Structure 1
Amino acid sequence: MSNLSKELLREYIQEQKFTSSTDILDALKDMFRDVLQESLEAEMDEALGYGKYDSTEKTSPNSRNGHSKKTIKTELGPIGINIPRDRNGDFEPKIVPKHQRTVDGIDDKILALYATGMTTRDISEQIKGLYSVDVSAETVSNITNRILPLVSDWQNRPLERAYSFVFMDAIHYKVREDKQVVIKAAYVVIGVNLDGEKEVLGVWIGANESSKFWLSVLNDLKNRGVEDVLIFCVDGLAGFKISITWR
């Protein structure tokens, strides 16, 4: 593995513009795809009246018939997904309707689903916000149940021991609380390893940018295996310099 000098790292940061929101979202393509895929599968479960592996509950003569590949345009760029099919050809997906090739305006909502600090209720509300049409409580519940293990595994996955540099930024999103729409910040932490590969290390929901909040973030990274970071790029986030003594 190559160990870049701090001077080269600074040049690399400037060239790649890692602090731009576009680049941050670009690192989240897989997360975006997984949420859409699980939502589509849950929609099919409801349409047929039983889950993929729950054939004992089957009451409809209709059944699954594989998937068809579809590439959609998003703010992150093109993303390939697999649309579930049924034998009767009756299934009408809602999150990515038939003949629709563009999905816009839900990137931040999907990002928030992966954030540490989101409750199950928060996640359910965010899932509702992904749809431009009304969806049943059962569908929302099914999608939530599919996504929770996915999110938990992602949040707790082990990280590399060392990163050349780590940068942080905030993405704001809307969520409904007590019948009101409020704006929250999801703090995205992205690391570049010693081979120059970029990885989203985590996403956290924080009411403020206090040193206590950032200490909890850094402790989480440390508990998942991170031992050393050569450079932190935090865009002047309040409280971070105090908490950096974790190293």
Structure 2
Amino acid sequence: MNEMSKIKRNPAAVKIANEILKEYDCDSLTDMQDALKEIFGPLFEGMLQGEMDNHLGYKSNSKEPKSTKNRRNGSNPKTLKTTMGEVEINAPRDRNGSFEPVIVPKRSKDVSDIEGKVLSMYARGMSQRDISSTIEDIYGFKVSHDMISDITNAILPEVEEWQNRPLKKCYPFVFVDCMYVSVRNDYEAKEEAVYVILGYDLQGQKEILGLWMDSTESKNYWMQVFDEIKARGVEDIFFISMDGVSGLESGAKAIFPGVVVQRCIVHLIRNSIRYVPTKDYKKFTADLKKVYGASSLKAAKTAFDTFCDNWKQYPGAIEVWKRNFLHVEQLFDYGSAVRKVMYTTNAIESVNSSFRKVTKKGSFPNHEAVFKLLYLRVKELQKKWDKGHLNNWSMVLNQLLVNDQFKDRIEKYIQY
């Protein structure tokens, strides 16, 4: 086995590191951090002096003729908040007060990118108290609750811009779902519905189209949501996968006439096993998979007849599938790769699961607080999604292209 190659070090960096270890007698991680913190001050001062040299056009103690009457004028003590804690420095100044440093701007005392750190912790569901304690533990300075609130409120215009941004013209697959969060109204906390739409575009990229809130989930509000995304540029949706909200299918088709509405098979399974004893869950769901996972519609119908006969002792469970069997049948109008995408809302349930991780700790003071947190969570998810498209997307797109129902619609929007 070949020996792993060693990391190449800058000789100058190695020399400085050895000198620091020798000078500060570092025996622990804390010693090393204290040493680095002490070095931060001279580093900042050296960089500021370099900026002053550039501003004045000459170096300190230079014997050369000077092209300006402006001169150095001592320094001001300044305490900086850094990633290593608070650091004392002497900030240079000039006589006419025209020096505007870049590395540490005038009146600035924070070079720790604390805003980014606060937003990152907020996006992970940490409370203001937890954020304040964490900042103090790690960086050695306090951040007030008011400051945290100001930092997070600063993104509200960004949230509003995102909520109203133009959308793509075509999303072959759209998944809709609701989750509930607790919002305080005066002294009472009430569960309210957060409407979430996840779309897959023609490149197989995931995108949260938006977030909306209402007192509860209803067909009428979903109609308003569909109207809004249409106004924001969406012209065509091929498939909408959803749970069974009464009237939602007709409402979706009223806004997007060409859409195929697919009931989530996983939700139907959950609805049906309510009528099945726990001891039979495993065998019951295995027989169901033979139905919706069949290779053809004919095989699915045969498997369904067998399923109904085998489980007739649970008529409530059988009735769920008889009422919704058309949603199983329509799956077989499309190729297997397309079926795999459209038959379940697992994709959006995964999104809502991610949301619940950061909303479960307690009640929100208002809707703005909900949108701030969920928007930051969306940004975290989008970073992951931007790294690649949906698995097997080329096969999905090919199966849609050979289907007369979608071929012309794809060619209208896709760029080859």
Structure showing the higher strand proportion among its residues: 1
Structure of greater Rg = 2
Higher RCO, Cα 8 Å, sep 6+: 1
Give TM-score scaled by structure 2 length: 0.30
Give TM-score scaled by structure 1 length: 0.48
Structure showing the higher helix proportion among its residues: 2
